[in-house]
Amino acid sequence: MVINLGITPFFEDLIVKAVERVYPSVVNISTVRYVEQLFEIVPVQGIGSGFIISSDGLIITNFHVIEGSKIVNVTTSDGRTMKGRVIGYDPTTDIALIKVDAKNLPTAPIGDSDKLKIGQIAIAIGNPLGLAGGPSVTVGVISALNRHVKAQRLYMGLIQTDAAINPGNSGGPLVNSNGEVIGVNTAIIPFAQGIGFAIPINLVKKVVDDILMYGRALRPWLGILGTTVTPQIAEYYGLPVEKGALVVNIIPRSPAHKAGLEEGDIIVSVNNKHVSSIEDLQDILRTMHVGEIIDIKFYRGNKILSTKVELEVAE
């Protein structure tokens, strides 16, 4: 086990205990997909990590780890290799859910990514070698939150850490000093240097719940087109606030339309969470569920009003 951070014996013991708590649930995932090369179909092997979230064999990993795979093999930390089947996936968040037929498997303790703070210890754990070796562990801190990253697609709301995340660790857990999973490591940026990214576990839980219930991730839809209020825009148009999400257009018969929102309204909070930009609004909605009723506070002229909106599914 290699730990890439100069630390005191106290913190070393803390990190070792955190790894020991989580590692039994961390698995190796090896895949085979078939691609055409020079007019021939050839098998291409892939490798990644994942972690067990239920004792009967539900496993979280990255979508890009299993994308296009015909064969998925899972090797547990105690050396068992089993066939895995893909239950569902969500390319937008880079999350996939796998199932193996087993019982009494060790599960990962799940934390709360909404409580994260910049500077907290972050431990990236993977199992890239399977039967050939033990865990791969790197240690750093949370260096930024709510990062939006453009790779194959736009990934939003990511945790940024200086704990190195290599492709073999992709899909494994990012954990805090208590050994609780706070994110799913994703090696989506092959040339990133000195930084890694993880999908917040609270968003992952929502995606997993949707997959188990509906077979796919559901996107809650508000039904507005908007832009970010800046001090410059506020001064030019005489707006009552310098931050918020300005409603530019309302989609007819959308949840926003039904709730009485109008063009020109400035959304400043959702369920008492402050909204300072259109990105803030998008990030909050991504964590909500279809059918959930949310409370929106907004400015209409100089008056602050509120309305309740029932979110619908985005098709």
Active-site annotation, residues? 64, 94, 170
Query: Which among 207, 243, 182, 141 has a CA at the least distance from the CA of 22?
Result: 182
The β-bridge partners of 146 are: none
Contacts of 71 (CB under 8 A, 6+ apart): 31, 32, 83
Q: Could you give the angle at the alpha carbon of 47 between the alpha carbons of 213 and 83, nearest 5°?
A: 55
- DSSP letters spanning 154-173: EEEEEEEESS---GGGTTSE
Q: Is the CB of residue 59 less than 8 Å from the CB of residue 74?
A: yes
Quote the distance between the C-alpha of residue 2 and its chain's center: 26
How many C-alpha atoms does 164 have within 13 Å on its Cβ side?
13
Neighbour count for residue 259 (Cβ, 10 Å): 17
